[in-house]
Structure 1
C-alpha cells in the first residue's frame, strides 16, 4: 500500500504535537503545496450543463412528423431512433431501500438524485450527494459514420423489475429494438452499494473502434457540515491503482493527476462519499479537483468540484463492464466490510499511524461506545486507558528529569571549572552522566515513543463517523467545533466563534509544561538558543488557535489526557520518586567502575585526542 502524503493541516498537527512533547522534556505536521498558477476554470471538465433547446438535446417526440424524424436522424444518425421513443422525455425512475433513495433520469441514464435517508446536515436538511444537476455521467464516443455521441444528452428507455429482493433497473439507449447501449442498476435491501454495469448489444458496427470510448464522471460536492473550512480540509478525490496502491489529490485550488490500472475512484466529502468501482481495471485515469471555497467567511453551497476521465475498452466491438456505485457514509467499518480496500478512503494516517488506528483505536472505541451511555464518556474512558498504558513511559521520562535535577549542582561546578575549555567541559560532563547512569536523551526518547500514539489519535477523531452529530456536555457535535460564544468579527486563523474545549486543553497543556520544565527553564537556557519561556507560552496559544475549528472530540481528548498526565506526574513526584534516594543511588553508581560501550569509548577517545592536539598547539 502506498504511503499517504501529508496534507497541510496534518503536517502542522504532527509537528505541533511532536514539538510539544519534545519541548516539554528538552531540559531534563493536506503537503504544503502552493496552488500552481493554473487557469481559474477546469478546461478539461465542463460544468454539468443546463438543458438546452437544440434539436439534439431536447427533442421529445411522442407525435413526431416525418420532417422532425428526418432532422433527428440527420443529427444523431443511428441513435436518432432513441429520440423517437416514448421515453424521450425528462422523466425519472426511483430506486429506494431503507438507507438510500435514488432517482435515475431518462436523459443520460444517470443518477440525478442520491439522498441518505438516515442522516441530516448540520442544519437539519436531508443529506444529498447528488441533486439539482451537481453531477453527471457521460460516455463519449464516435460512431462509424463520424458522429460524436455524448450519452448525457441522449434519452434512455427504463425498465424496472425485481430479482428476488433486489430492484433491477435497465436503462437502454437504443439504435433499434435489438441494438442498444445499456446501463443496469441493481439495488439491494439495506445496502449503500449498487451493482452497476455498462454493456452494449449489436453496436459492433455502430461504435468506431478507431476512437476512444471515454467515461466522464463529474461531481460538485455539497456542503454538509457546520465548518466549511473543516469539511473542505477532508474533502478530496482518491483512487486505487495497480493492485492495491492508493493515492489522492491534495488541497490546492486546482490539482490534477494521472494513474494506470484504476480499480476505484472516490469523491470523498469528509463524512460521505461517492465511489465508482470496477471489476475490470480501467487502463488509465485522469483526475481533476478544483476548490470552490474562495472565502471561508462567505456561506457556500459547494466545497470542491471533481472530475474523472476513464477510457473503456471495446472487446469484439462491444462494451462489457461490471461495476459498482457506492453512495454512503465514509465510515471505516462499513467500507472495510466490503473487502475492496475502500477503508483507504478514510484518512487514518500513513504507516504506523494508520496501523495503530485500524488495529487498536477503532476496535477499542467501537467496544467502548457499544455499552457506554455516550460517545463523550467513551472518549474519556479511552483517554484514561491510553494514559495508563503510557504511564511507564511517563515514569521513565520523569525519572530521567529527576536525575538531571539531582546532578544539576555538579554540572554547574563542571561548567564553572572548565568555562574556558568547552571540549574538556563536555568530556567531564559525559563522564558524570555515564557514572551516574543518567542521560539528557533519556528524557526525550520516551516523548518520541508517544508521538505515534498522539498523531494516530489526531487522525482518528476527525475521521470517526460515529462522532458525527453526537453531543456531549455543551458540544452538540463531537465531530465539529463546540461553540460557547459567537464573535461579531473574524479573527485570522482563529475564526468567528469561541470553543471551550480547546481553551481547557490549552490551559491543561500550559500547567503540564510548567510542572515539567518551568522551574528549571531559565537555568538551562543556553546562549544562542530560543527563549524557552517564550516557547512555553507560545505552544498552548498555538494549540488554542489550531484546535478552535477542529473536532471537539479531539480537544476533549487532549484536555482529559493532559489532566490525567498532570495527576500521574503528581503521584510520581510525591508518592513514587524520592529525590534523596535517587541522589544516594547516583553517588553509589559514581563509585563503581563503569564499563563504557564501544560507541561511548570511541567518542571519548576522539575527544581526548582532539584535546591533546589542542594542547600541543
Structure 2
C-alpha cells in the first residue's frame, strides 16, 4: 500500500486557513465599550432576577399563612401591618430619602426614615483644612424614641417611615415629619428654622395615639452624638470638648474629661460641646431624670484623629392625657459667649470662663475690653494692647513686691545676726526677727500679698484665651490661627508631651520667663534668710528658674498661640517694669535710711502681729516649763 504524506501545498493551505480564522475572530471581537455594556446588562439582569425571587419568596411566605385564593399582591399590606402595626399607614403613603432645607446660617437634611436630622452644616465656618463644618454627617448622630404599643410591639422611631412636609412662613421654614396611623392620628417632629438664628424650635407631639402608645411601658428618648475633629490639634480641642447640662432650676454642671456617666434630675438643657461648636437640646418642661454619659475617643492623638468624644443621653418621656407633648429647642452653632448669652437661658455657662472671681473678671472686664479692642484693630494687635493695659494696671503691685524684697535684702545681715545669736533658742530668734521686721516696716508677707493679687488675673486670662471664639482662624505674624498652635518647623518624629512640631510663640514666652525669673530670683535669693535645718531656698529658686521655662515650653507647644503671645508680651513688659523700678525708682540707700528711722520710732503692733507675739511667748513659756520638768 502506498504511504500517504503531507506535501508542501497541504501545509501552506492549513496555515492560510488558520490565519484567515484568526483574522476573522480578531475582527469580530467586541470593543471595550461593548464588553462593558454586556457586563452591565448581565449585572442588571442578575439583580432584577434576585429582586423578583425575593419578592416571590416574600409573597409565598406571607401567602403560606393565609387561605388558598387570597390576593397575593395585597399581602404586602398585611406584611407591613404585621411589622409596623398601626403605623403601616406611613410606610404605604410615605417615601424613602431625605428632606433638604436651608436657612442663611444652616444647611440641614432630615432623614425620612426616623424623622430626625441626618446632616447639619454651619454655612459661615470651615475647619482647619478649609472643609465645611458639619456637626452631623455620615451617621455620627442618632435620635430615637423607643416605645411600646397597645398591641404588644416595641418600636423605635429611627426604624419607622415618617411623612415629610415643608412650608415657608416669612423668614421661617417649618419642617413637619409625621409618623402616621391615619391622616388625623400621628406622632410628629416639628422643626421651625428661622433665618439669622442658630436655634430652632422643636416639638414632639402626638395626636390620637392614646389607644396606640402603651402608657404603662417606658418611653425613652435616646440622643447620641460623636464629635468630629475640627481643629489642628485634636488633643487641645478634645480638652475643651465635654458634655454639660443645666438641672435643678438653674444649676449647671458637666461630665469630666475621662469616661463618665451620671443620673441627673430636673434637666432643662443638655449640651454636647466640641470646643468652638455645640449641639444643644433644650426643653421648656424639665426632664425628671436623665442618664448622661461621655466616652473619650482620643487615646493617642497620632492615631485617633477623626473623633473627639462620644456623648449619650437617655431621657424618659411622659404621656400627658395619653399623648406626648414636649416643646423644645435645638441649637446647632458656635460656642460663642455673646451668641449664647443673647438667648437668656443660661447657655453662656457652656463657655468656660472660670468659677467665682475668675469668671467675674472675664465676664465684666476682659470680654468687654477685648471685644472693644477687637472692633478697632486686628485681634493679634488687640492681644498686645490688652496685655499692656493689664500690666500697667498691675504695675503698682510689682512695685510693692519689689520694694518688699529690697527691704528684706537690706535687713538680711541683721536677721542673720539674730539667728546666729539665738541659734540654740529658735523661739527667741523668731520673736526678735518679728520685732525687727515690725519696727523696720518690712515683712515677708508684704511681698507675698502683691503676688496673690495677681493670681486671679493670671488664672482668668488662662481661661479667657482658649474660650475666645473671636480668635478662631485669626492670623497674626507667622501664626495662621490664634486659637491653635503656630508652627515654624515640623519634626520628622513625635516627642512625648511636646509634639511633632515647633511653635515659636511658646519658645519666645519660655525665653522671656527665664530672664524674668533670673531678675526676680536673684533679688529673692539675696533677701531670703537661710534657716538652719531648712532647705536651701537659693538652690530651690535656681532650679525653678530653669524648670519653669522648660515646663512652659512643653505645656504650651500645643496650646492656642494667642495665649502664648499673651505670656510672651506679659513677661517682656514685666522685665521692663522691674528694670525701671530697680534702676530709676528704688534707691537702696534711701530705703536703708528709712528703715533706720522706722526702727527708732515706737511701732504699734496690729492685732495679727500682737496675737502672733502672744502665741510665741506662750509657746516659749511652755517649752521652758517642759525643760524644768525634765531636769
For structure 2, the 5+ residue unaligned runs are 1-53, 60-71
Tell me which residue corresponds to 1:594: 603
RMSD: 1.8
Alignment CA distance shift 1:166-1:437 (3 Å): same
Alpha-carbon offset, residue 609 of structure 1? 4.0
Deviations 1:226-250 (A, max 9, x none): 0010011111111101111011111
Alignment CA distance shift 1:613-1:157 (3 Å): closer
1:577 and 2:586 aligned: yes
Q: TM-score, normalised by structure 1?
A: 0.87
Structure richer in helix, relative to its length: 2
Tell me which residue corresponds to 2:83: 75
Matches within 5 A, 1:430-449: 430-449=434-453
Tell me which residue corresponds to 2:324: 319
What's the secondary structure of 1:308's corresponding residue? strand
Q: Choose which of 348, 373, 377 in structure 2 pairs with 1:368.
A: 373
Q: Choose which of 487, 491, 495 in structure 2 pairs with 1:487.
A: 491
Alpha-carbon offset, residue 613 of structure 1? 4.9
1:218 and 2:219 aligned: no
Moved more, 411-420 or 483-492: 411-420
**8 Å CA contact retained: 2:405, 2:523:** no
User: How far apart in 2 are the matches of 1:172 and 1:209?
Assistant: 20
Moved more, 535-544 or 431-440: 535-544
Matches within 5 A, 1:184-583: 184-252=190-258, 254-372=259-377, 374-521=378-525, 524-526=529-531, 527-529=533-535, 531-583=540-592
User: How far apart in 2 are the matches of 1:508 and 1:558?
Assistant: 9
What's the secondary structure of 2:604's corresponding residue? coil
Deviations 1:381-402 (A, max 9, x none): 0000111111111111111111
User: How far apart in 2 are the matches of 1:520 and 1:464?
Assistant: 36
User: How far apart in 1 are the matches of 2:565 and 2:616?
Assistant: 50
User: How far apart in 2 are the matches of 1:141 and 1:259?
Assistant: 22
**8 Å CA contact retained: 2:243, 2:273:** yes
Matches within 5 A, 1:79-228: 79-85=87-93, 87-89=94-96, 91-228=97-234
**8 Å CA contact retained: 2:412, 2:529:** no
Structure with greater contact order relative to length (CA < 8 Å, sep ≥ 6): 1
Alignment CA distance shift 1:177-1:415 (3 Å): same
Alpha-carbon offset, residue 606 of structure 1? 3.3
User: How far apart in 1 are the matches of 2:135 and 2:376?
Assistant: 32
User: How far apart in 1 are the matches of 2:436 and 2:529?
Assistant: 17
Alignment CA distance shift 1:459-1:65 (3 Å): farther
Q: TM-score, normalised by structure 2?
A: 0.85
**8 Å CA contact retained: 1:260, 1:283:** yes
User: How far apart in 1 are the matches of 2:198 and 2:520?
Assistant: 51
What's the secondary structure of 1:191's corresponding residue? coil
What's the secondary structure of 2:403's corresponding residue? helix
Alpha-carbon offset, residue 520 of structure 1? 4.8
Deviations 1:75-127 (A, max 9, x none): 11111221111x231x1112211211000110110010000111111011100
Deviations 1:150-204 (A, max 9, x none): 0011111011111222111111000111100001111111111111101100001
Moved more, 554-563 or 536-545: 536-545
For structure 1, the 5+ residue unaligned runs are 1-53
User: How far apart in 2 are the matches of 1:216 and 1:563?
Assistant: 53
**8 Å CA contact retained: 1:525, 1:532:** no
Q: How many residues align?
A: 554
What's the secondary structure of 2:118's corresponding residue? strand
Alpha-carbon offset, residue 284 of structure 1? 1.1
Alignment CA distance shift 1:514-1:77 (3 Å): same
Alpha-carbon offset, residue 445 of structure 1? 0.9
User: How far apart in 2 are the matches of 1:298 and 1:518?
Assistant: 45
